[in-house]
Amino acid sequence: MSPNPPERLERRSIISGIGQSDVGRRLGRGELDLTLDACLKAIGDAGLTRDDIDGLATFPGAGIGTSGFAGPSTPEVQDALRLRLNWHDGGLEGPGQLRAVFAACLAVAAGLARHVLVYRTVTESTAQGEGGRQGIGGAGGGRGVPRFSGVMQWTLPYGAVSAANWLAMIAQRRMNEFGLTREQLAWIALNGRRNAARNPKAVYRDPMSLDDYLAVRMISTPLCLYDCDAPCDGSTAVVVSHADYARDTPSTACHVNAIGTALRGRPSWDQFDDMTTFSARDAAASMWERTELRPSDVDVAELYDGFSILTMVWLEELGLCGKGESGPFVEGGSRIALDGAVPLNTSGGQLSAGRLHGFGMLHEACVQLRGEGGERQVRNTPEVAAVAAGGGPIAGCMLLTRGLS
């Protein structure tokens, strides 16, 4: 069943540098332009030059999804930086958005590369402004609407077209099983907005009240507009290096302690055995199987909030609160505040800081471990950070530590 190797090879890797482009709504800049900004910052932050970079990875790779979703391909970035690579990787399938980072960690551990540049770029906000992400069906409908094969044929005929619909059914199920309320769920959004006010790069920084949350329009019950993340433009990059570079990086090395990659239930949005957890359950379990650290060791948590309900699932499945208890745990917002027991989504998360699609969570975890959070820095610089990305049947998570633990 669970792999049990004598050595957790991901521990041979560190994040030696981080970089992020401008982040915003409709920046109107090209995806490669933003990507190069982020990549060059990350390389410099790691104390390296492009000549040192011998690995390159991204999620998901070009040509996938709606306009503005995928970002540039690794060949485009390789050529733009004239990189000479020993290892390269891009792809959609795997344990969520962080799959590119996990692959880089293992490539470094295997000696296939020494310094891997990993990036994720979105220009969904600009794409929407150009009409690049429209509804399905278009004017008229009926005959002439394309038909679908594959997995989408089971949901599109019923207008279940978005992860918002599929995850709304998780939220409804949790309301039924655990008594979750909208007033509790709201705190994922409210906490994010509270932290975004301290993040100059966040796309939404105006205060949000519980009344604002409860009054905004529904998307798919019980999820409202503020339960859905905010499309943005931006690129995030990290350099994954061999751990023996930790002494030499001018930044504070963030050590990879464990990665969580499992998918043990059926890989399906509507056939997964437990509709209250999805594969966050498996990813989290596999991560804890690979470390001596415990949930109580986590000092800061950056947990994917593409939809608010996903953060609730991650809180529980990572053991940061009890099973089914995330509602009461987040209610009122004190436990998840910057000075709470589990500081959560400290840069504002995707709900308020923008949908950087998992890599924003990773970047912020490093910022916090390095003590560079400025106004939003968690006190007593955190030593252990939990990072999670994905939802439904797509999920991955990791533990990062400041120094070796």
Partner 1 sequence: MTAPGAARGPAVRVLPRLDGTNRFFWTSGEDGRLRFLRCTACRHYVHPPVPRCPYCLDGSMVPEPVSGTGVVHSFTVNHQQWIPGSDPYVIGLVTIAEQEDVRLTTNLVDCAPDDVHIGMAVEVTFEQAEDVWLPLFKPAEQLP
Binding site for partner 1 (CB under 8 A): 135-139, 141-143, 145-149, 151, 153-162, 164-165, 168-170, 172-173, 176, 217-223, 270-271, 273, 275
What is the closest distance, in whole angstroms, from the C-beta atom of residue 131 to partner 1 in the complex? 13
Cα separation values, 12 from 109, 160, 243, 255, Å: 5, 43, 5, 8
Q: Give the DSSP letter string of 283-339.
A: HHHHHHTT-S--GGG--EEEE--SBHHHHHHHHHHTTSS-TT-HHHHHTTSSTTSTT
Closer Cβ to partner 1, 40 or 169, answer by number: 169
Unique residue bearing structure tokens 């000479």:
84
Q: Which amino acid, one-letter code, is at 46?
A: A
What is the closest distance, in whole angstroms, from the C-beta atom of residue 272 to partner 1 in the complex? 9
Closer Cβ to partner 1, 110 or 145, answer by number: 145
Closer Cβ to partner 1, 49 or 66, answer by number: 66
Cis peptide before 60 (omega within 30 of 0): yes
What is the closest distance, in whole angstroms, from the C-beta atom of residue 150 to partner 1 in the complex? 9
What is the closest distance, in whole angstroms, from the C-beta atom of residue 205 to partner 1 in the complex? 25
What is the closest distance, in whole angstroms, from the C-beta atom of residue 307 to partner 1 in the complex? 12
Q: Give the DSSP letter string of 110-145.
A: TTS-SEEEEEEEEEHHHHHHTT-SPPSS-SS-STTS
By the 8 A CB rule, do 346 and 368 touch?
yes
Q: How many CB atoms lie within 10 A of CB 392?
A: 22
Q: Tell me how many degrees the CA angle 181-230-232 measures, rounded to the nearest 5.
A: 165
Burial of 38 per CB tally in 10 Å (0-12, 13-18, 19+): buried
What is the closest distance, in whole angstroms, from the C-beta atom of residue 141 to partner 1 in the complex? 3
Closer Cβ to partner 1, 160 or 190, answer by number: 160
Closer Cβ to partner 1, 67 or 73, answer by number: 67
Closer Cβ to partner 1, 145 or 215, answer by number: 145
By the 8 A CB rule, do 34 and 8 touch?
no
Closer Cβ to partner 1, 127 or 369, answer by number: 127
What is the closest distance, in whole angstroms, from the C-beta atom of residue 135 to partner 1 in the complex? 5
Q: How many CB atoms lie within 10 A of CB 148?
A: 13
